Amino acid sequence: MILQPQESSIVKLCLKDTRENISEIFFQPTISSHDIEIHPALHTVKNSCFPTVIRNLGNTAIHFNKGQVFGEATPSFLLKTNDKNICGSPNNNTPMCNLITPSEDILKKRKDELSETDFKLEHLNSDQKQLLLETLLDRSAAFSKSLKTIGCTDRVIPTFNFRSHNPIKTLPFEIPHAIQGTIKEELNELIEAGLIHRNISQWSSPMVLVKKKQNPTNPHKPASYRMAFYLRLLNTILENSTYPLPKIPTLINEISKYPFYTTIDFCKAYWQILLPEEMQDVLTFTTPFGTFASRRLVFGLKTAASKENTLADFFSRFPVNRTEISNTPQDEQELILPVVETHCNTINAISDTSLEISTSTWLKEQADDTQTNEIIQLLKNPSLKDSNNIRGFYIDPTTHILMFKSHRKSQAKLIVVPKSLQHKALDICHISHTGLDKTYQIVSNRYYWKGVYIDTKNFVLSCEQCIKNKSFTPKHAPPQSNRIPTGPGDYISVDIKGPLPNSGYVLTVLDHFSKHIVLYSLKNITAETVSKHILNYISIHGRPSQILSDRGLQFTSEVFSLINKTLGIKLSHTSPFHPQTNGQTERLNPAIESSILTLQERGVNLQNALLIHQNIYNGLIHPSTGYTPNLLHFGRNLPLIFDTFDNNS
């Protein structure tokens, strides 16, 4: 098996010891490599094998040989049997159940005690809040608000090893009379919930009450206490656990790679883990009202955290890489011309003021071109021996232009470009002087000829306007958004570029969710002018909940502040001398300036140059979202400016 760099994969590991009574094991990895990440976890064994996730953290591929040892498996956890309804002792002879299902009574109590006010959803709008509330309330069985409905699992049965088996007995601590009533109420609640029971044992530890922190929102509420156990002496004879607890720096480094992450927190996690009977004797505690033993794992044992963390290993911490689905021809009659490239054509990028190719031009040039005309004749007079040469080609019944159906582009219908028009097609697609990737995206979605990528690359790299006007800046860390927008129009940023040579100023408005931009041409940058255009944007695209800008006088003026206050818009400013805070908008400025300068050299004025750049930018797939800004902003893709050919153009 080969695992590529930074790739995760689910693999099946098999046990060397194939005893039939092993149904569940605890797997501890022992493979010694800093580039391989495997987490210890509990696994259910089927046919002597179990699946686990392996991740390659390195920069080179890793080869795994057959028979390689990945770790050790300990049969410490056994599955339930039909003749047991409660958990037995954790030994090899006594079977144990692996899950206790809550009774119908507990499930009903959980549903009855749950209400909408238990969820803090103030950060969501009304539609989002209603949708999430319905989902949460429908799954009330997963929530518990009281000890009586806490439930439990014996998926993890903790085992403890002691250096000495001589019982430890400690006298109870003095409890103030004022809080003895609180202790009695707490004990009665735990007994009713079945978490503790009266017990007489040679072991005993004192009980203590720990005062909880006061709620700052309700300072007049009476103080509450948490019942705990003083287990310092017991911990001195308890052997340490070798279970590897997750380290906070490791977790922070891991989640920093992802824009979203979810946390799951158990409600009173320790109370959900059952103790074996012999350990209940050891954890007997003394109170002014008698001695009691705990049926669940208690806080204070030095190995308790490691026992509780084994539950978390049932959840995979790393996603498995997605696989792309290719578009395979479904119709046997759909054919594609075999492409054999003997050489690539180098096309120099020379400006052309015309941006149109009429239907008549397409028909004339395709007929005059030797290769395209040959395909047209074969389509008109097809023969069996020539079928391989015309696969994928067809003649459009309306325009009579030779077209090509591409399986790589989701059945896209492409115009077959003769050699005489290839330069013209590239010049049209490069009108906004975008980079290689975006220019090729435009070309490959509209045109087809052999060697199209090489020709596009040579055209873009040899473009004199791009070389002259573009400033090549080193790559930096990706810009970080101040907040995550909830949808189109929720969070926008604004910035002003200028003055431009022989032009005025440009106001850029960027939607952080869809990456959709709107560009305004400004003759001056007074607060009134800028505010007028922002209001124009809001009237078309809706009121945002937050606007991010720099600390320019236009955005800190009373006029602009009053507009935002009146409309209920939160206004945020970047840090002084730190424009990176508004990095997404700032990064657009060099591309906008380059596009304007190159288009003005063609005789295009500032207003039209901005419309051309805005149209093409919003119509191309954005690398951070994988969709076009138009699709995310309006719900559909809009045609680009040169997608309007007709018979009269």
Tell me the residue type at 587: R
**pLDDT, average across residues 38-44:** 80
74 is a domain residue: yes
What confidence tier does 120 reach under pLDDT thresholds 50, 70, 90? confident
Q: Is the pLDDT of residue 241 over 50?
A: yes
pLDDT at 473: 52
Euclidean distance between CA atoms 139 and 133, whole angstroms = 10
- Tokens representing residue 206 in the block: 């004192």
pLDDT score, position 204: 85
Q: Could you say which DSSP state residue 274 is in?
A: B
pLDDT band of 17, cuts 50, 70, 90: low
What was the pLDDT predicted at 649?
42
Both 527 and 440 in one domain: the answer is: no
Same domain, 266 and 371: no
Q: Do 589 and 520 belong together in one domain? A: yes
| Final residue belonging to a domain, choices 264, 289, 317 | 317
| pLDDT-based confidence at residue 300 (cuts at 50, 70, 90) | confident
Rounded to whole angstroms, how far apart are CA atoms 352 and 421?
Answer: 12
Contacts 24+ apart (CB under 8 A), 483-486: 483/546, 484/259, 484/260, 485/511, 485/512, 485/513, 486/124, 486/125, 486/128, 486/513
Domain boundary (445, 461, 477) is at 461
**Burial status of residue 274 (CB atoms within 10 A of its CB: 0-12, 13-18, 19 or more):** buried
Which pLDDT band holds residue 183 (cuts at 50, 70, 90)? confident
Q: Whole-angstrom Cα distance, residue 469 to residue 434?
A: 12
Mean pLDDT over residues 427-450, rounded? 82
Residue 210 lies in a domain: yes
The candidate with the shortest Cα–Cα distance to 616, out of 583, 649, 601, 594, is 594
Inform me whether the pLDDT recorded for 295 exceeds 60. Answer: yes
Span 125-154, pLDDT tens digits: 888 888 888 888 888 888 888 877 877 776
Structure tokens of 64? 């795994």
* pTM, rounded to two decimals: 0.38
Mean pLDDT confidence for 202-213: 82
Average pLDDT value over all residues in the chain: 75
pLDDT score of 579: 62
Q: Where a domain ends, among 253, 285, 317?
A: 317
pLDDT at 228 over 50: yes
| Domain CATH for 178 | 3.10.10.10
| Domain of residue 64, residue span | 2-79
Residue 472 falls inside a structural domain: no
The winner for highest mean pLDDT among 86-95, 183-192, 265-274, 408-417 is 183-192
Distance CA 63, CA 597 (A): 52
Q: What tokens does 646 get? A: 């007709």
Name the domain count of the chain. 4
Residue 183 lies in a domain: yes
**Structure-token pair, residue 432:** 């906004």
